[in-house]
Amino acid sequence: DAGVIQSPRHEVTEMGQEVTLRCKPISGHDYLFWYRQTMMRGLELLIYFNNNVPIDDSGMPEDRFSAKMPNASFSTLKIQPSEPRDSAVYFCASSLSGADYEQYFGPGTRLTVT
């Protein structure tokens, strides 16, 4: 099993640019989660999907952030326009049947906005 796959692993971009982060969940998992981790705020849930449908996006910081899941094997998190305060590690995770089951995290995308 390949696990959760994220790309890119590292992204450095200039303020104002669009950033797209990608995630492929574990096959058969019906929940997908996007998290952001910073030293100051720790690990925060941004949004999660069940069967490709967004269930809770209350953690999305503002309208500059959007997430999609067009099919069961792919999701994107987009930031447009990016700002230096968006610099963080973004993790994607997937699980079976919701949060009572183990969430498997991808390796993360380390984003730096200059």
Partner 1 sequence: RKEVEQDPGPFNVPEGATVAFNCTYSNSASQSFFWYRQDCRKEPKLLMSVYSSGNEDGRFTAQLNRASQYISLLIRDSKLSDSATYLCVVNREGGVGGKLIFGQGTELSVKP
Is 108 a residue that touches partner 1 (CB under 8 A)?
A: yes
**Residue 56 is a binding residue for partner 1 (CB under 8 A):** yes
Q: Which of residues 65-104 bind partner 1 (CB under 8 A)?
A: 91, 97-100, 102-103
Distance (Å, whole) CA 14 – CA 30:
34
Residues 75, 111, 61: CA angle, nearest 5 degrees: 65
Question: Is residue 12 at the binding interface for partner 1, with CB under 8 A as the rule?
Answer: no
Torsion angle of the four alpha carbons 95, 105, 6, 87, in this order, in degrees rounded to the nearest 10: 130
In whole angstroms, what is the distance from residue 57 CA to residue 65 CA? Answer: 10
Member of 20, 64, 66, 107 binding partner 1 (CB under 8 A): 107
Residues 28-47 binding partner 1 (CB under 8 A) are 33, 42-45
The residue ranges that bind partner 1 (CB under 8 A) are 33, 42-45, 48, 50, 55-56, 91, 97-100, 102-103, 105-108
